[in-house]
C-alpha cells in the first residue's frame, strides 16, 4: 500500500441518532437576549409532504460582523414529531448577500443534503451568483420568509414540485 | 464555461465516493431523495467553514462507553481506534468524533426502537472524543448486536457503529457507519449495498487488529477515516 488512502463513503444517520447527537442544546447560536437575535424556524417535509420527524438540521454561518469570533457559527437541531426545527441566531454580516449554510441529515438520506438559506429583502440578493442562476420556485426555495417579530421561516422540501434547491457535496 | 458558472449534475455523478440519494432497495430513500439535478458550486463560492462544533469539548470519560454507568455492560468488550486523515493522507488533529450504537443485544436507547430485545441498564451507547496531534481517536465499547428493521421481509442490519466527524472545513463533514469484518449480513443490507463499488464498501469495514487487542480484556478493531469525499485518484468504474 502506498499513497493517500481513499475517502470514506457516507452512510445514513439512521432513525436513532438523537441520543448520540442531540443531547446538548446546540439550537442557540446566541442567547435570546442577544442584540439583533433572530429565530430561524421551519419544517422538513418529504415527497408526500409528510413531516420528517427524524431529521437533523445543521447550520454554519458567520457572525453579525462577518467573522467567526469565539468559535461562533455552528448550530444543530433535531426535528420534532411535526418535522419542526428552530435556531436562535443573528443575521450574518460581511460583504455580499448574507446566508446560512445548511446540511440536513435523516433516515433515508444516505448522505446529507446541502443547501443555503438567504435572507428576505436583502439588497445583496440580486447580486448573489447562486441566486442569480436560479429562477421561480427554485430561487424562492433558498430565501427565508419574514414571519414578523424577528422570525424567519425556512421550510425544506426534500422532494416534489416544491423541492428545495440542493447543492452537490 | 466561466470560472463562476453554476452547473447542474445528476445524483451520483458528483465525483464523490458517497452513495446516491435514491437507492430504492432502501425504502426510506424513495420519498426523501431529491429527484432534481444538484447544483454544483464553483470553488470560489464555497460556504464559510472551520472546525466549529460548539463550545462543549468532550470529557475523557466520554470515549469509554463501558464506564458511563455504575456497572459494566454485557457484551464483547471492544476497542475501536484509527486515524482521521485528510484527502492527502495527512492527519486531522482536533477533529470531533461522535459515535452512537445499539447495545450487545441489538437494541438502541431510543424511544422509537421498540423491537423486543433487552435494554442494558449499564449501557447508553453514545460517546465523543477529539483526535490527537496524529489524528488518532480511540473508543472503548461493546460490540453492537445485529437487529431487525422493517425495510423488507427479514431485514437485519449488520452490526455497526454510527460515526459523525467534523474536520477542518464544511466539505469535510461526514456521517457514516463502521462495520465489522466478515459479517454475513452485508450481502442483504441495502444501506451497505447502496455503495455500488465493492472496494468503496470495504472502506467501511473495520479490521481486527492484534496490536490494539488487549489480552484478557478487549478485542481491538482499527478503522481509519478519510475526509473530503473525493479520492485523490478516482476509483475506476
State the average pLDDT for chain B. 92
* pTM exceeds 0.90 for this model: yes
Residue B157 is among the residues annotated as catalytic for this protein: yes
ipTM rounded to 2 decimals:
0.95
Tens digit of each residue's pLDDT (9 = 90 or more) over B114-131: 999 999 999 999 999 999
Residue A108, min C-alpha distance to chain B (Å): 4
Check if the beta carbon of residue B109 is closer than 8 Å to that of residue B124: yes
Chain B residue closest in CA terms to A106: B32
Chain A residue closest in CA terms to B125: A20
Tens digit of each residue's pLDDT (9 = 90 or more) over B212-232: 999 999 999 999 999 999 997
How far apart are the C-alpha atoms of A23 and B112, rounded to whole Å? 16
Residues of B in contact with A107 (CB under 8 A): 28, 32
How far apart are the C-alpha atoms of B126 and B180, rounded to whole Å? 18
Tens digit of each residue's pLDDT (9 = 90 or more) over A11-31: 999 999 999 999 999 999 999
Cross-chain residue pair B110–A15, CB shorter than 8 Å? yes
CA-to-CA separations, B214 to B65, B101, B140, B218, in angstroms, rounded: 17, 22, 11, 5
Q: Is B20 on the interface with A (CB under 8 A)?
A: yes
Q: Is B179 on the interface with A (CB under 8 A)?
A: no
Residue A164 has a pLDDT of: 98
Across the A:B interface, residue pairs with CB atoms under 8 Å apart total 226
- If DSSP codes are grouped into helix, strand and coil, which group holds residue B201? helix
Cross-chain residue pair A108–B33, CB shorter than 8 Å? yes
Residues of B in contact with A14 (CB under 8 A): 162, 177
Residue B179 is among the residues annotated as catalytic for this protein: no
Cross-chain residue pair B195–A9, CB shorter than 8 Å? yes
Count Cα neighbours of B193 within 13 Å in the Cβ-side half-sphere.
14
Cross-chain residue pair A73–B56, CB shorter than 8 Å? no
Chain A residue closest in CA terms to B124: A19
State the average pLDDT for chain A. 95
Query: Residues B23, B157, B179, B221: which is the catalytic one?
Result: B157
Residue B25 has a pLDDT of: 98
How far apart are the C-alpha atoms of B12 and A14, rounded to whole Å? 20
Q: How confident is the model at residue A5 (pLDDT cuts 50, 70, 90)?
A: confident
Cross-chain residue pair A4–B39, CB shorter than 8 Å? no
Instruction: Extract the residue ranges of chain B whose pLDDT is less than 50.
Output: 1-3, 237
- Annotate B42-53 with b (16+ C-beta within 10 A) or e (fewer): eeeeebbbebbb
Q: Is B10 on the interface with A (CB under 8 A)?
A: no
Residue B4 has a pLDDT of: 57
Cross-chain residue pair A8–B23, CB shorter than 8 Å? no
Q: Which burial class, exposed, middle or buried, applies to A69 when counting CB atoms under 10 A from its CB (0-12, 13-18, 19+)?
A: exposed
Cross-chain residue pair B233–A3, CB shorter than 8 Å? yes
Residue B160 is among the residues annotated as catalytic for this protein: yes
Where helices occur in chain A by DSSP H, the ranges are 18-21, 129-132, 136-140
A167's CB contacts (< 8 A; 6+ apart) are A114, A115, A116, B38, B39, B40, B41
Scanning A133-162 for CB atoms below 8 A from B yields 133-134, 158-159
Amino acid at each position: 500500500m502506498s499513497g493517500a488512502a481513499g475517502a470514506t463513503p457516507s452512510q445514513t444517520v439512521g432513525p436513532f441518532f438523537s441520543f448520540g447527537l442531540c443531547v446538548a442544546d446546540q439550537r442557540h447560536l446566541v442567547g435570546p437576549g442577544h442584540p439583533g437575535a433572530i429565530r430561524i424556524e421551519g419544517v422538513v417535509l418529504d415527497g408526500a409532504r409528510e413531516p420528517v420527524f427524524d431529521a437533523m438540521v445543521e447550520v454554519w454561518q458567520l457572525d453579525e460582523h462577518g467573522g467567526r469570533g469565539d468559535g461562533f457559527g455552528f448550530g444543530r437541531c433535531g426535528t420534532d414529531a411535526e418535522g419542526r426545527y428552530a435556531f436562535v441566531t443573528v443575521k450574518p454580516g460581511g460583504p455580499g448577500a448574507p446566508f446560512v449554510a445548511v446540511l440536513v441529515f435523516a433516515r433515508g438520506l444516505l448522505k446529507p443534503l446541502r443547501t443555503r438559506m438567504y435572507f428576505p429583502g436583502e439588497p445583496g440578493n440580486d447580486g448573489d451568483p447562486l441566486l442569480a442562476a436560479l429562477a421561480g420556485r427554485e430561487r424562492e426555495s433558498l430565501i427565508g420568509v419574514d414571519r414578523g417579530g424577528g422570525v424567519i421561516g425556512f421550510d425544506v422540501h426534500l422532494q416534489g414540485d416544491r423541492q428545495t434547491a440542493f447543492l452537490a457535496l | 464555461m466561466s470560472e463562476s458558472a453554476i452547473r447542474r449534475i445528476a445524483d451520483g455523478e458528483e465525483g464523490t465516493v458517497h452513495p446516491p440519494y435514491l437507492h430504492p432497495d432502501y425504502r426510506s430513500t424513495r420519498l426523501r431523495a431529491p429527484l432534481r439535478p444538484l447544483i454544483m458550486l464553483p470553488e470560489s463560492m464555497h460556504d464559510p467553514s472551520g472546525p466549529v462544533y460548539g463550545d462543549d469539548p468532550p470529557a475523557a470519560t466520554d470515549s469509554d462507553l463501558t464506564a458511563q454507568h455504575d456497572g459494566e455492560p454485557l457484551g464483547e468488550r471492544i476497542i475501536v481506534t484509527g486515524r482521521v486523515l485528510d484527502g492527502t493522507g495527512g492527519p486531522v488533529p482536533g477533529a470531533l468524533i461522535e459515535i452512537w450504537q445499539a447495545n450487545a443485544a441489538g437494541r438502541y436507547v431510543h424511544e422509537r426502537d421498540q423491537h423486543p430485545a433487552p435494554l442494558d441498564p449499564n449501557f447508553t451507547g453514545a460517546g465523543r472524543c477529539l483526535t490527537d496531534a496524529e489524528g488518532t481517536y480511540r473508543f472503548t465499547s461493546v460490540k453492537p448486536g445485529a437487529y431487525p428493521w422493517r425495510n423488507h421481509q427479514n431485514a437485519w442490519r449488520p452490526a455497526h457503529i454510527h460515526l459523525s466527524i467534523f474536520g477542518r472545513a464544511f466539505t469535510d463533514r461526514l456521517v457514516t457507519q463502521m462495520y465489522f469484518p466478515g459479517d454475513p449480513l452485508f450481502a442483504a443490507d441495502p444501506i451497505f449495498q447502496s455503495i455500488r463499488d465493492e472496494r468503496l464498501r470495504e472502506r467501511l469495514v473495520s479490521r481486527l487488529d492484534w496490536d490494539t487487542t488487549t489480552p484478557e480484556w478487549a478485542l481491538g478493531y482499527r478503522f481509519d477515516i478519510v475526509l473530503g469525499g473525493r479520492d485523490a485518484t478516482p476509483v475506476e468504474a
